[in-house]
């Protein structure tokens, strides 16, 4: 990332993007959303008084990786092998992947890991998926992979693979399900920080807020195409059902 022109503020979405923005400039204020604890990856000093040029919001999408995999297993009882794509240099991905590995072990699932360092490698990995190699696609926290959600959904649909994502918008676009935060909610919270910084507040003095509202969304149209019957107990727990 390079700053080609003078800007008053950078708004960064995702842990890896925020880390890149922080490295790219030494003076521009940054408002961020991180899907993992920003203290643990060195973005800020602490939540109440972040210090430096950064403030914003963070979520628990990385922390609920195990729950996301559990929900996928409940929706797809035949699930034995789940494929996941991730950037090997992304610290949030590494945290999420570590949690996913332990969750897969406890659920007696095989996690098929495909490291992809670029969109080109991601596309190649999707093309290389062989019939029967995996029973579903499972998302671990990764901004680059998330940016290609529609491609993953379309490829998975062609290969008849259920898909479990983090952001609810992916379900409206054809994913089987998602469990995580709402980008709409994140945007509203972030806007408050952006406004205060642009009005002259010091980012280092603005407490970082946690987004703790999680959404579980299921697409029954996708389930029908895949020949899946979602248990009533899961439907009752869903925040939204697309029919």
Question: SS3 for 46?
Answer: coil
45: phi > 0 → left, psi -120 to 50 → alpha, else beta; which? alpha
Find out if CATH 1.10.3720.10 is the number for domain 10-60+182-211. Answer: no
Find out if CATH 1.20.81.30 is the number for domain 65-180+215-242. Answer: no
* pLDDT for the residue numbered 91: 87
Contact 180, 171 (CB under 8 A): no
* pLDDT for the residue numbered 39: 93
CA 102 to chain centre: 18
Domains 10-60+182-211 and 65-180+215-242 share a fold: yes
Walking along the chain (243 residues) 10 residues at a time, the average pLDDT comes out as: 73 92 93 92 93 92 93 96 95 93 97 97 96 95 93 95 93 96 88 96 95 92 96 95 95
Contact 126, 149 (CB under 8 A): no
Neighbours of 49 (CB within 10 A): 13
Neighbours of 36 (CB within 10 A): 25
* pLDDT for the residue numbered 3: 54
Q: Where are the domains of the chain?
A: 10-60+182-211, 65-180+215-242
The C-alpha atoms of residue 167 and residue 170 are separated, in whole angstroms, by: 6
- What residue has token string 């919270």? 189
């Amino acid at each position: 990332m390079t700053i080609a022109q003078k800007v008053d503020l950078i708004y960064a979405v995702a842990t890896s993007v925020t880390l890149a923005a922080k490295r790219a400039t030494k003076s521009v204020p940054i408002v961020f959303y991180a899907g993992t604890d920003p203290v643990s990856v060195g973005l800020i000093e602490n939540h109440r008084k972040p210090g430096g040029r950064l403030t914003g919001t963070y979520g628990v999408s990385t922390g609920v990786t195990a729950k996301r995999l559990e929900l996928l297993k409940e929706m797809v009882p035949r699930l034995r092998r789940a494929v996941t794509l991730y950037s090997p240099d992304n610290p949030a991905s590494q945290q999420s992947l570590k949690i996913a590995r332990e969750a897969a072990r406890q659920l007696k699932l095989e996690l098929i890991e495909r490291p992809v360092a670029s969109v080109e490698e991601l596309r190649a990995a999707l093309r290389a998926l062989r019939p029967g190699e995996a029973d579903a696609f499972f998302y671990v926290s990764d901004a680059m992979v998330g940016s290609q959600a529609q491609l993953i959904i379309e490829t998975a649909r062609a290969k008849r693979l259920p898909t479990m994502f983090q952001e609810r918008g992916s379900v409206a676009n054809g994913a089987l399900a998602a469990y995580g935060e709402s980008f709409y909610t994140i945007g509203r919270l972030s806007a408050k920080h952006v406004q205060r910084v642009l009005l002259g507040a010091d980012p280092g003095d603005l407490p970082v807020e946690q987004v703790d509202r999680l959404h579980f969304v299921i697409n029954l149209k996708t389930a029908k195409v895949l020949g899946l019957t979602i248990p009533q107990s899961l439907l009752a727990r869903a925040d939204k059902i697309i029919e």
